[in-house]
Amino acid sequence: MLNKEKGSLYLYNIGQLVTMAGGPRKGASAMGDLAIIEGPAVLVIEDGIVTFAGKQSDGPCPKEQGMEFVDAQGQCVLPGFIDSHTHLVFGGYREDEFQWRLAGESYMSIMERGGGIASTTKATRAASFEELSEHAKKHLDAMLRMGVTTAEAKSGYGMDRDTEIRQLEVIRHLDETHPISLYPTYMGAHDTPVEYKGRPHDYIDFIIREMLPLVKEKDLAECVDIFTEKNVFEHEDTRRLLNAAKELGFKVKMHADEIVPIGGAELAAELGCLSADHLLKISDEGIKALATSETVATCLPLTAFSLMDDYAPARKMIDAGCCVAVASDLNPGSCFSASIPLLIALSTIYMKMTVEETIAALTINAAKAINRQDKVGSLEVGKAGDAVILRYPSYKFLSYHFGMNLVDTTIKSGKLYKY
Ligand code: NIG
Ligand code: FE
């Protein structure tokens, strides 16, 4: 991240300050604890970094110089939301496909007849750097309005050398120019491209031989992801790719157990993935494996909703002791939405997570899913001054006033974005 604007802010008269202090949370009792400071509270951010978060009566004297003073008017303040799984950069849309799915056709059958990821790949290969970044910027603007201050962004709609690099360069450009910070993930192994049709092992060889070293040399990604799914990439290819990625110093993660249960969660835990994502079809063994590992279980309920499929068993995973995160999975196919209000509604109403667990899943646990738990996800001294001011005095309104954007102001590195 270069040259991001940073501000200094004295935010006072906070009615309820949700700090999420104390690190990522595993299991129901830890995830239910939001480390709240009841108001009046104050949040002080200097040059983009939190220097105080606590009771107003214990707070430092406000410094006049160069500091913005903002009255929170008794409303609730939380850490900025983290969307830890997005396919932000892509060309074209698939609006017809969505209608076919509504009419009963399955995601995999559309994929098998050349639609799905292949159709977005065609459009992405044809799109310029400017087109890709303009589109992605529009999504980021909307996400910022909903309180997102950090997001993960994957490549994976090029699946050839130049387009994958172009997607990652767009991600870097947006990280440098947009208020939202981006965590870059290389996902060349999103599908097997037409050039390698029927030869997924050869495509993985190409990625290991040519793409991983190139992405590393250009320093364009921190993490490598793969779509581990029956008839896409199975265990052997996943193991080969992610082990090679780890050897080069990348973090790794997986799309796991989304459509057919093939032990993806177990493999993610074994390989030391930052996160295993989707998990709609996770087995009891998979839940146990994640609960006893450092791998975050990332649920993507907007995708389950859009695919009209079952939701991931978030309640069961939390009760078993997993570190659960929730994210949007924004992409032009299985989930064309990055709606934080809908994500919260589905998490609380259909995945049976409490509102407290959902907030932990969208902040500090999501930070762990992108290896940023030391920098973002909680309002603690030394961490990023990323926060949201709600229009209501309690975080509980986030589930109660469902489907509505309750964010009055997003604060990124101490700079205010008021809506
Ligand atoms: O996370 N499952 C694979 N990848 C995406 C969908 C990509 C697409 O349909 O374009 C997902 O759901
Ligand atoms: Fe995804």
- Position 115 confidence tier, pLDDT thresholds 50, 70, 90: confident
What span, in angstroms and rounded, lies between the C-alpha atoms of 352 and 18? 21
User: Which ligand approaches the C-alpha of residue 306 most closely?
Assistant: 1
Q: What pLDDT score was predicted for residue 211?
A: 98
Contact assessment for residue 217 and residue 210, using Cβ atoms and an 8 Å cutoff: no
Q: What pLDDT score was predicted for residue 141?
A: 98
Tell me, using a 6 A CB cutoff, whether residue 334 lines ligand 1: yes
The atom of ligand 1 lying closest to the CA of 329 is 1
Nearest of 299, 126, 119 to residue 191 by alpha carbon? 119
How many angstroms separate the first and last alpha carbons of the chain?
A: 25
Q: What pLDDT score was predicted for residue 1?
A: 44
Q: What pLDDT score was predicted for residue 397?
A: 98
Residue closest by Cα to atom 1 of ligand 1 = 329
Tell me, using a 6 A CB cutoff, whether residue 115 lines ligand 1: no
pLDDT, mean of residues 314-338 = 98
pLDDT, mean of residues 213-236 = 97
User: Which ligand approaches the C-alpha of residue 92 most closely?
Assistant: 1
Among 2-6, 46-50, 64-68, which stretch is predicted with the lowest mean pLDDT? 2-6
The atom of ligand 1 lying closest to the CA of 333 is 9
- Report the chain's mean pLDDT, rounded to a whole number: 96
Best of 95, 117, 259 for a ligand 1 pocket test (most atoms within 8 Å of beta carbon): 117
Q: What pLDDT score was predicted for residue 62?
A: 83
What span, in angstroms and rounded, lies between the C-alpha atoms of 89 and 170? 8
Distance from Cα 42 to the centre of ligand 1, integer Å? 41
Tell me, using a 6 A CB cutoff, whether residue 91 lines ligand 1: no
Q: pLDDT digit string (tens) for 251-283?
A: 999 999 999 999 999 999 999 999 999 999 999
Indicate whether 53 pLDDT > 90: yes
Tell me, using a 6 A CB cutoff, whether residue 258 lines ligand 1: yes
CATH of domain 9-79+378-418: 2.30.40.10
Indicate whether 65 pLDDT > 90: no
Distance from Cα 148 to the centre of ligand 1, integer Å? 21
Tell me, using a 6 A CB cutoff, whether residue 332 lines ligand 1: yes
Tell me, using a 6 A CB cutoff, whether residue 333 lines ligand 1: yes
Q: What pLDDT score was predicted for residue 3?
A: 54
The atom of ligand 1 lying closest to the CA of 117 is 10
Tell me, using a 6 A CB cutoff, whether residue 306 lines ligand 1: no
Q: Can you give the pTM of this predicted structure?
A: 0.97
pLDDT, mean of residues 389-416 = 98
- How is domain 82-369 classified at the CATH fold level? TIM Barrel (3.20.20)
Residue closest by Cα to atom 12 of ligand 1 = 334
Residue closest by Cα to atom 5 of ligand 1 = 334
Indicate whether 193 pLDDT > 90: yes
- Tokens at 42, concatenated: 């104050």
User: Which ligand approaches the C-alpha of residue 86 most closely?
Assistant: 2
Domain boundaries, the chain: 9-79+378-418, 82-369
